[in-house]
Chains A and B, each alone.
Chain A
């Protein structure tokens, strides 16, 4: 077996300790890594060999759990999916943009969690039926209508990429709105009218100006930008039906 290629990697990591710091600062680490590694591996090596005080989140190491999101050279990335071979020189690692920094690379996701709740991201059945009547059935075509939007891993990279969220933190934001769309598109669901109270507002889809950054950084190919544009169209149609058609109800 050919030996794996090694490389000296330089990391510039944003550090912040809420107990002692008033501001964040960058700290430089130099660590020998395998060429095949990802940025998360390099951080793990730093933590194991150089600085055990470094804080960051991760769990699955396979782009599934969505917990290792960071800004890598200014770009929102899953650090377990950011290959060292794609970077040259010093790699700058910062916590996800637009979220408060809890400690080092750990951000506070509270705002996102709150927004997720607001869009009611769960099935609100059209008609409730007793379990004895069996499952709510769905055809493959009905599944395909929303499948893509159900692939979100809640990594919040799209929020870190979205300048509208950065500038207007009350914006419900890409992933939460996309999840609302996912349930709205589900043939078994009847909760759209309830969700519209959050979706079709200034804080909802109308805060989106279609920068499209969310879709470019999404590691799960969810394409939140497409969901939001579709919701703008349906919300506009609702408005037309309600205001321009006598007796019309969206």
Chain B
């Protein structure tokens, strides 16, 4: 009997349409574009700050344009989604064993959320929001 196995290729550009879980994965990957773009925006802001008060005022003004506000909202949603999926994953990457048992995963992820909340609060306080 001949052995002639049939190879069925994985479609290189459309594979993520095959299953909803792949789409979920891709949507998470895509959030990093927004997170990256926002980092670039921050760097540009720093540059403007270094250029002097006039440049800085101009930068702040540009941030208030409708297109900029839409981008910032999208970036915020993307960053929150990215962070949440990351925190949910921490329990898999960092299990904590105590004796024969494991610390519940929810507690590990929860600790990350708590740290996130505290750090955000500190940043907001430093920024003079309160």
* Residue positions of A touching B, CB distance < 8 A: 16, 18-19, 21, 23-24, 74-75, 97-98, 100-102, 107-108, 140-141, 144-145, 163, 166-167, 209-213, 215-216, 223, 225-226, 229-230, 232-233
Contacts and interface: CB of A to CB of B under 8 A. Distances in A.
Given A108-B5, A163-B16, A210 B10 contact: no
Contact of A229 (B5, B25, B29, B92): B92
Contact of A167 (B3, B15, B101): B15
A203 to B, nearest CB: 17
A17 to B, nearest CB: 10
B7 A75 contact: no
Given A75-B19, A211-B22, A226-B92, A23 B6 contact: yes
B19 A18 contact: no
Given A107-B5, A163-B15, 16 more contacts: A16-B6, A97-B10, A100-B7, A100-B8, A102-B3, A102-B5, A108-B5, A140-B100, A163-B22, A211-B22, A216-B21, A225-B92, A226-B93, A230-B92, A230-B94, A233-B93
Interface of B: 1-8, 10, 12, 15-16, 18-19, 21-22, 25, 29, 89, 92-95, 97, 99-102
B22 A18 contact: no
Given A74-B18, A101-B8, A163-B15, A19 B93 contact: no
A18 B25 contact: no
A213 B21 contact: yes
Interface centre among B19, B94, B99 (most CB of A within 10 A): B19
Nearest to A16: B6
A14 B115 CA distance: 51
Given A144-B100, A229-B89, A230-B95, A213 B7 contact: no
Contacts of B15: 163, 166-167
A215 to B, nearest CB: 8
